Amino acid sequence: MKRAGLALVVLFLLILGAALVMLPFVAAASFHASKTTQTGGGGVAEICAAGEAGQAQIPEEYREDVAKAAQVSGFSQEVIASQIFQESTWDPSVTSPSGARGLAQFKDDTWPDFGEGGDPYNGHDAIAAQARFLKWLKDRFTDLANGDEDELVKMVLSGYRLGFNVVEDAGGVPDHPDSTAYWTEILARTAIYTTECKPVVGGDDVVVAGDWTHPLPGSYFTSGFGYRGCVAGVGCDDFIANHNALDFANPAGSPGTVVAATAMTVTGINSDPASGMYVEGVQDEAPHYTLKYLHCAAGSIRVSEGEAVPAGKALCTEGNTGLDGMKPHLHFQINAPNGGAPIDPRPILEANGVAVCPPGRDVTDACAS
């Protein structure tokens, strides 16, 4: 019995040793399969694993369809998802005034060629048809693009929007405002749906004592609300000169984490050529302001549409997506309730105990004005 007991102990130790040896490999596998936590103090943090940040912006029921559509069409999941948002904002029941139907907005003259007997109002059928149509257009325009992949995707999206004959008649990307706006917005929005996981600079959620906090903790106040004139390197357009927000920025090379200034429900995650990537939400408590956080770094969105977030919740990383020539910063905008006009955020922040120019960060021209 003693020998048998000794043998059991030895066997147990061998199994335990093997488990300890395998533990780092198991941990590594788990790391690559799930989101990672953020590091504090502005350190480097991975915000996603295997593209989960971008996948989270695609409705769960369509994620597999989008992945398959990318394989069929030869275009990225980002392009597929962004185009669906552009066409229908993920609403499979929508019908346009011109009669285009479903997620991918097919009309009666094109659905029979690519729908393969499916239902345009069925999201799964629509995405599959979208992929087949994109593939058909890509094959048709490949020679015309002459190896320029950027031009090819613009041709294909223009063909989807206006018809393949318009692209062929133009001999390339048509100079048409409708199609130009179409592919510009789709390609700008692809950053939201990125499936690439890469390190970004950022930090943890912020522990908040009150109902409000600074939207970019530790930053400097760089531009106020109202008229400010031209911005060097950016331009003099009216929306630039007449500033409808507050700007905050960290020193170059040290982007910070943009957080919810107060508890809100995320109502939109979007991108456009001027605003870049941004998060929009409605304040939970009265008076229910709309809050906008613009110019997030590409791939750094950390929340999903419809998510209820507390004050201090990390939303994204400070960035410079949007207009060319901008330096990384946060454009923090508050709009009056119920779709009202922008209002100056500074009195609101300061009335709620948030210093726009706290001690040690009060040295900028914006603070002096």
Give pLDDT tens digits for 290-341: 999 999 998 888 888 999 999 989 999 899 998 887 889 999 999 999 889 9
Looking at the structure, tell me whether residues 205 and 340 fall in a common domain: yes
For residue 2, is it within any domain?
no
Which of 135, 165, 193 corresponds to the end of one domain? Answer: 193
Looking at the structure, tell me whether residues 153 and 243 fall in a common domain: no
Looking at the structure, tell me whether residues 205 and 352 fall in a common domain: yes
For residue 235, is it within any domain?
yes
Looking at the structure, tell me whether residues 226 and 325 fall in a common domain: yes
pLDDT of res. 195: 61
CA distance 349 to 362: 16
For residue 5, is it within any domain?
no
Which of 137, 168, 193 corresponds to the end of one domain? Answer: 193
Looking at the structure, tell me whether residues 141 and 269 fall in a common domain: no
Cβ atoms < 10 Å from Cβ of 249: 22
Looking at the structure, tell me whether residues 188 and 205 fall in a common domain: no
- Find out whether the peptide bond into 177 is cis, omega within 30 degrees of 0: no
Collapsed DSSP state (helix, strand, coil) of residue 223: strand
Answer whether 202's CB lies under 8 Å from 180's CB: no
For residue 9, is it within any domain?
no
Which of 193, 228, 254 corresponds to the end of one domain? Answer: 193
pLDDT of res. 55: 59
Answer whether 203's CB lies under 8 Å from 314's CB: yes
Dihedrals phi, psi of 256, to nearest 5 degrees: -105, -175
Looking at the structure, tell me whether residues 98 and 241 fall in a common domain: no
In tens, the pLDDT along 224-251 reads 998 887 877 777 887 778 888 999 998 7
Percent of the chain with pLDDT over 70: 79
Q: CB within 8 A of 273, min separation 6: which ones?
A: 184, 185, 188, 322, 323
In tens, the pLDDT along 30-63 reads 222 222 222 223 333 333 333 445 556 788 899 8
Q: Which residue in this structure is represented by tokens 């939303």?
A: 315
> What is the per-residue DSSP string for 35-62?
PPPPPSTT-EEE--STTHHHHTTS-GGG
Alpha-helical regions (H) of 193-280: 238-241
For residue 360, is it within any domain?
yes
More confidently predicted of 155 and 298: 155
- Say if strands 264-272 and 242-243 run parallel, antiparallel, or are unpaired: unpaired
Looking at the structure, tell me whether residues 206 and 60 fall in a common domain: no
Looking at the structure, tell me whether residues 204 and 338 fall in a common domain: yes
Dihedrals phi, psi of 330, to nearest 5 degrees: -105, 130
Specify the number of domains making up the chain. 2
The answer on pLDDT for 90 being more than 70 is yes
Looking at the structure, tell me whether residues 212 and 361 fall in a common domain: yes
* Torsion over CA: 30, 299, 244, 214 (sign): positive
Range of the domain at 237: 200-368
- E runs forming strands in 160-307: 199-201, 220-223, 226-227, 242-243, 246-249, 257-259, 264-272, 276-283, 290-296
For residue 328, is it within any domain?
yes
The pair of structure tokens assigned to 115 is 């729908």
CA 367 to chain centroid: 31
Collapsed DSSP state (helix, strand, coil) of residue 295: strand
What pairs with residue 332 in β-bridges? 246, 293
**CATH number for position 288:** 2.70.70.10
What pairs with residue 153 in β-bridges? none
**CATH number for position 176:** 1.10.530.10
CA-to-CA separations, 327 to 95, 116, 130, 233, 310, in angstroms, rounded = 41, 49, 37, 9, 28
For residue 48, is it within any domain?
no
In tens, the pLDDT along 99-150 reads 999 999 999 999 999 999 999 999 999 999 999 999 999 999 999 999 999 9
User: DSSP assignment, residue 75?
Assistant: S
pLDDT of res. 56: 61
For residue 30, is it within any domain?
no
CA distance 29 to 34: 9
Largest CA distance in the chain: 91
